[in-house]
């Protein structure tokens, strides 16, 4: 397994005046950017004796690698001078047509002309941030939200305002509070960023009623909504929710990715945007890296037009449902009563909330000492919150090690709570149960 | 052949208040960004009856596609769960080791730890611009320079100061003038961007003496130099020049790419930078698109460790030398005396300078009407210059159509000059020969 360091730990930290002779040359946006110590822990977490719930990766063991090898070899043999050449910045028309069909399968309308092919969902987030965010501009996002989105928005010096979730996703009443607060400040949000389906890291989805309400609020407050649909096709029951793009197409910039339903290694995602925005995004994309790979685009075109890709998605769904069940069962039987977690019905993640006396960032080294890894919660917020939360990924770890990993983490939390009790006694507020808080289901 | 629209035409243009309802939402950096009309012309230029000297592409007809197909299929079959999975943001250690070997072949020292794998050279330029440029910051670059570098720097609102070239590359006396001018303004350049080998679009190389002088000036004026070495291995004589990184390693951020010596379709380049800068670049890269493709990295590793890649580079060199000779011979026999051009000894490009009475942007539509295409010169400058210049690519067009294309362009220029003479007479300053001007060899 290749190193996977999630971008979580890339946080603004105290400037190291003593060590960096290039300091006076950097742009403001990167002066305080530094890798945190957590990054070093993640490389340790790759050791085979450790059960890692950290990286948010698909389980490729159910991919038909021979089929992918065959179609790729045939592309290079038959269309090699196209596959290995430069392409257009927007992406191949044939690729965009294939993606339109994939979106239709997810119930999301689009035309090929509205699409820009990107390097995974992450480049989509970067291009959107670069397109809309001036330093200090406000962006609204769920709290917690995807670490890579925080990294992209941070790198453009956004002022991120988080709106808490519950089991039905982003709370619309609290979004209204945030909008009212911004109005009082005389400011407006450049956009609202949301992952409505099987949110990363929350593991919850926006209810149908709230989708309608969000659409209403977008019209009422003249909002642009970034709809990140990385996990929409990975609902365990195979159902797809109503996309925001369906409800308010002119106000939505929609993001998709091949990383969860096919392969992250082809580094392919896309944006569907209203034409004027799409034009800007193509120009920014060309400035960023010229064009997507024709080779990986052709692989995806061939995959989506000649292979049973719906069956592959069903295989992923079934596998992840099985793994989620294993994890949720293990959590229910092993975790201390003071710990709370979400109950995902799709996607990759469970979100845990522990008593406030425990700091999940500080706890990670101990967890790795006990041969289990997770991602601490702070990276999923831009405001310092999340110290009592953590993300567990169930999609990637081997089926037969999920219970073992949960047991190790549960044992550690039992011990930590015991320590806290020995210091503060049973009634300390730090030990209060957290059920109902955070993104609780 | 897939559409290849070079990013040239992405220029700041008058804001279209009437047509874009999203205008008030954009960041300052993109408000004026719009695709120019030239972009539409390029799509016409792809028709088979047109000889296009526009896109700067390698000629993949001499690639061993079967070998690439075989090694790729074997990677997916044997290491598919790695190849198709996420990877680390800096790039695979094995990939970086292979690139160190490739750099050694070009005489450039580096360690794997100093490298960051990027999405071609373009992403390297974007990450460097994002790392160093605040809005309004000064950057020094050759004039003309690579259009993609202009696009990347523009997208971060750089103030680009161009330094003219002659047949020995960037003129050091004029660089000194620019540095003196900046000192008078109380400003300093964030970096000097140069393509010292077979420059795009100039088709000239920095002389050994000037490399030493540039290194001296960098120390004297405390400069950071971005050394873009896209074409260093494509000198027709097979010789490599002294890299700036060799001379002043702490002051150089070096860029390489697999697009010219292997394939643009794998979208792979790299940066070699001093450690503190490399650390920032990895964080920016993760915010930009998380990680490079493991699949295309494995392809390159396998290519550079199991295939006769030096022979492939020699095949490219021989082909491009042949094509360059065809183009230079045709230019010498067909072009009007008032037209000047550079004499490349490597790379992809010839740079033409025409009498000032002719506007190469306006001329492009006529050229396409005569079934020949080029890139107008203005896109290679950030200051509006280049209206009397244009770029011809000799690497991509078929060998048997180069003379035909040059003849068509020469005929058009003869006709244009005839028109000018009929209006202004023979002695008009607009018709003065331009030999010795621009990047003349």
- A69 to chain B, any CB pair closer than 8 A? The answer is yes
Q: Give the one of A2, A66, A276 whose C-beta lies nearest to B85's C-beta.
A: A2
Q: Give the one of B33, B58, B119 whose C-beta lies nearest to A280's C-beta.
A: B33
pLDDT of A317: 98
Q: Give the one of B29, B84, B290 whose C-beta lies nearest to A60's C-beta.
A: B84
Contacts of B81 in chain A (CB under 8 A): 60-61, 63, 65
- Which conformational region is residue A132 in: left (phi greater than 0), alpha (psi within -120 to 50 degrees), or beta? alpha
Question: Could you give the ipTM of this predicted complex?
Answer: 0.93
pLDDT of A42: 77
Q: Give the one of A69, A83, A120 whose C-beta lies nearest to B289's C-beta.
A: A120
pLDDT of B401: 97
Please compute the mean of the pLDDT values over residues B290-302 and round it to a whole number: 97
Q: Do B279 and A28 touch (CB under 8 A)?
A: no
pLDDT of B431: 66
- Lookup result for tokens 């979580």: A8
Q: Do B68 and A85 touch (CB under 8 A)?
A: no
Contacts of B267 in chain A (CB under 8 A): 289, 291-293
Residue B80 has pLDDT above 80, yes or no: yes
pLDDT of A70: 98
Report the percentage of chain B scoring pLDDT > 90: 87
> Which residues, in sequence order, are CB contacts of B271 under 8 Å at separation 6+?
B115, B116, B118, B124, B127, B128, B253, B254, B255, B256, B278, B281
Give, rounded to a whole angstrom, the gap between the first and last alpha carbons of chain B: 32
* DSSP single-letter state for residue A272: E
Q: Do B238 and B84 form a contact (C-beta atoms < 8 A)?
A: no
Reported as a pLDDT band with limits 50, 70 and 90, residue B90 is very high
B16 Cα to chain A: minimum distance (Å): 10
pLDDT of B41: 74
Contacts of B160 in chain A (CB under 8 A): none
- Out of A428-437, B41-50, B245-254, pick the least confident: A428-437
Instruction: Kindly provide the b/e burial profile for residues A281-290, where b requires at least 16 CB atoms within 10 angstroms of the residue's own CB.
Output: bbbbbbbbbb
pLDDT of A266: 97
Q: Which of residues 86-125 of B touch A (CB under 8 A)?
A: 86-89, 92, 118-120, 122-123
Helix axis angle, A172-185 relative to A208-220, nearest 10°? 20
A253 Cα to chain B: minimum distance (Å): 12
Which residue of chain A comes nearest to B67, CA vs CA? Answer: A77
Measured in degrees and rounded to the nearest 5, phi and psi for residue A373 equal: -130, 150
Question: Chains A, B: CB contacts under 8 A, how many?
Answer: 303
Three-state DSSP at B288 gives: helix
Three-state DSSP at A228 gives: strand
A289 Cα to chain B: minimum distance (Å): 5
Q: Which of residues 233-252 of A touch B (CB under 8 A)?
A: 250
Contacts of B250 in chain A (CB under 8 A): 21
Q: Which of residues 34-63 of A touch B (CB under 8 A)?
A: 34-35, 55, 57-58, 60-61, 63
Three-state DSSP at A173 gives: helix
**What's the CA gap between B283 and A35, in Å, rounded?**
7
**What's the CA gap between B243 and B90, in Å, rounded?**
23
pLDDT of B186: 97
For residue A336, what are its two tokens?
A: 């201390």
Which residue of chain A comes nearest to B71, CA vs CA? Answer: A73
**What's the CA gap between A164 and A149, in Å, rounded?**
16
- Which conformational region is residue B128 in: left (phi greater than 0), alpha (psi within -120 to 50 degrees), or beta? alpha
Please compute the mean of the pLDDT values over residues B290-310 and round it to a whole number: 97
**What's the CA gap between A157 and A303, in Å, rounded?**
38
pLDDT of B33: 83
- What is this structure's pTM? 0.94
For residue A385, what are its two tokens?
A: 């919150």
A192 Cα to chain B: minimum distance (Å): 12
- Lookup result for tokens 């951020």: B253
Three-state DSSP at A156 gives: coil
Q: Which of residues 153-212 of B touch A (CB under 8 A)?
A: 154-156, 190-191
- A17 to chain B, any CB pair closer than 8 A? The answer is no
- B13 to chain A, any CB pair closer than 8 A? The answer is no
B263 Cα to chain A: minimum distance (Å): 5
> Which residues, in sequence order, are CB contacts of B410 under 8 Å at separation 6+?
B330, B331, B334, B335, B336, B339
pLDDT of A10: 42
Which residue of chain A comes nearest to B292, CA vs CA? Answer: A267
Q: Do A72 and B76 touch (CB under 8 A)?
A: yes
Contacts of A296 in chain B (CB under 8 A): 293, 295-296
Q: Do A56 and A202 form a contact (C-beta atoms < 8 A)?
A: no
pLDDT of A35: 75
- The tens-digit pLDDT sequence of chain A (441 residues) is 333 344 443 444 444 445 789 999 999 999 878 777 677 777 777 889 999 999 899 999 999 999 999 999 999 999 999 999 999 999 999 999 999 999 999 999 999 999 999 999 999 999 999 999 999 999 999 999 999 999 999 999 999 999 999 999 999 999 999 999 999 999 999 999 999 999 999 999 999 999 999 999 999 999 999 999 999 999 999 999 999 999 999 999 999 999 999 999 999 999 999 999 999 999 999 999 999 999 999 999 999 999 999 999 999 999 999 999 999 999 999 999 999 999 999 999 999 999 999 999 999 999 999 999 999 999 999 999 999 999 999 999 999 999 999 999 999 999 999 999 998 887 666 665 544 444 443
pLDDT of A429: 62
- Lookup result for tokens 């191949």: A92
- A379 to chain B, any CB pair closer than 8 A? The answer is no
For residue B167, what are its two tokens?
A: 């047949």
**What's the CA gap between B32 and B28, in Å, rounded?**
8
Q: Of A14, A11, A5, whose CA–CA distance to A39 is shortest? A: A5
Q: Of A192, A100, A84, whose CA–CA distance to A139 is shortest? A: A192
- Paired residues of A35 in beta bridges: A10
Q: Do B431 and B420 form a contact (C-beta atoms < 8 A)?
A: yes
Contacts of B66 in chain A (CB under 8 A): 77
Three-state DSSP at B138 gives: strand
Q: Do A413 and A335 form a contact (C-beta atoms < 8 A)?
A: yes
- Which conformational region is residue A349 in: left (phi greater than 0), alpha (psi within -120 to 50 degrees), or beta? beta
Measured in degrees and rounded to the nearest 5, phi and psi for residue B344 equal: -65, 145
For residue B304, what are its two tokens?
A: 């550079």
pLDDT of B403: 98
Q: Do A242 and A268 form a contact (C-beta atoms < 8 A)?
A: no
**What's the CA gap between B15 and A50, in Å, rounded?**
56
**What's the CA gap between A394 and B261, in Å, rounded?**
42
- Paired residues of A141 in beta bridges: A162, A193
- Paired residues of B389 in beta bridges: B353
Residue B16 has pLDDT above 50, yes or no: no
Contacts of B80 in chain A (CB under 8 A): 60, 63, 65, 68-69
Which residue of chain B comes nearest to A94, CA vs CA? Answer: B2
Q: Give the one of B152, B190, B286 whose C-beta lies nearest to A151's C-beta.
A: B286
Q: Give the one of A35, A123, A134 whose C-beta lies nearest to B283's C-beta.
A: A35
Reported as a pLDDT band with limits 50, 70 and 90, residue B18 is low
Three-state DSSP at B340 gives: strand
Three-state DSSP at B392 gives: strand
- A412 to chain B, any CB pair closer than 8 A? The answer is no
Contacts of B130 in chain A (CB under 8 A): 27, 29-30, 155
For every residue of B123-135, which 3-state class applies, written as one string?
A: HHHHHHHHHHCCC
pLDDT of A236: 98
| CB atoms closer than 10 angstroms to residue B246 | 16
Q: Do A95 and A302 form a contact (C-beta atoms < 8 A)?
A: no
Contacts of A58 in chain B (CB under 8 A): 85
Q: Of A1, A9, A19, whose CA–CA distance to A41 is shortest? A: A9
């Amino acid at each position: 397994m290749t190193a996977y360091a999630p971008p979580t730990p890339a946080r603004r930290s105290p400037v190291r005046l003593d060590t960096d002779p290039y300091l006076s040359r950097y742009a403001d946006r990167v002066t305080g950017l530094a890798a945190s110590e957590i990054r070093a822990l993640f490389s340790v977490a790759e050791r085979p004796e450790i059960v890692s719930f950290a990286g948010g990766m698909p389980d490729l063991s159910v991919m038909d690698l021979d089929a992918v090898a065959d179609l790729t070899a045939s592309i290079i043999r038959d269309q090699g001078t196209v596959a290995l050449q430069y392409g257009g910045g927007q992406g191949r028309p044939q690729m965009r047509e294939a993606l339109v069909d994939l979106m239709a399968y997810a119930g999301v309308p689009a035309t090929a002309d509205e699409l820009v092919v990107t390097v995974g969902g992450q480049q989509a987030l970067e291009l959107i941030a670069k397109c809309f965010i001036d330093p200090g501009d406000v962006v609204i996002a769920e709290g917690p939200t995807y670490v890579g989105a925080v990294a992209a928005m941070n790198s453009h010096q956004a002022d991120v305002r988080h709106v808490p979730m519950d089991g039905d996703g982003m709370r619309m009443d609290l979004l209204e509070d945030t909008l009212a607060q911004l109005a009082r400040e005389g400011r407006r949000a450049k956009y609202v960023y949301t992952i409505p389906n099987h949110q990363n890291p929350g593991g919850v989805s926006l209810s149908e009623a709230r989708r309608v309400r969000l659409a209403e609020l977008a019209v009422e407050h003249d909002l642009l909504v970034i709809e990140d649909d990385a996990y929409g096709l990975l609902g365990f029951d195979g159902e797809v929710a109503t996309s925001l793009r369906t409800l308010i197409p002119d106000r939505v910039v929609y993001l998709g990715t091949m990383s969860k339903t096919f392969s992250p290694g082809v580094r392919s995602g896309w944006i569907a945007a209203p034409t004027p925005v799409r034009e800007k995004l193509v120009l920014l994309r060309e400035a960023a890296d010229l064009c997507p790979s024709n080779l990986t685009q052709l692989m995806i075109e061939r995959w989506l037009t000649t292979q049973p890709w719906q069956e592959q998605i069903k295989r992923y769904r079934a596998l992840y449902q099985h793994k989620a069940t294993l994890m949720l069962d293990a959590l229910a039987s092993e975790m201390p009563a003071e710990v709370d977690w979400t109950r995902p019905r799709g996607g990759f993640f469970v979100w845990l909330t522990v008593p406030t006396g425990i700091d999940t960032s500080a706890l990670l080294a101990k967890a790795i000492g006990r041969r289990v890894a997770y991602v601490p919660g702070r990276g999923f917020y831009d405001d310092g919150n999340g110290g009592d939360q953590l993300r567990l990924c169930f999609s990637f770890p081997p089926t037969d090690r999920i219970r073992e990993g949960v047991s190790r983490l549960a044992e550690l939390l039992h011990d930590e709570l015991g320590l806290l009790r020995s210091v503060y006694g049973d009634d300390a507020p730090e030990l209060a149960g957290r059920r109902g808080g955070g993104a609780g289901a």
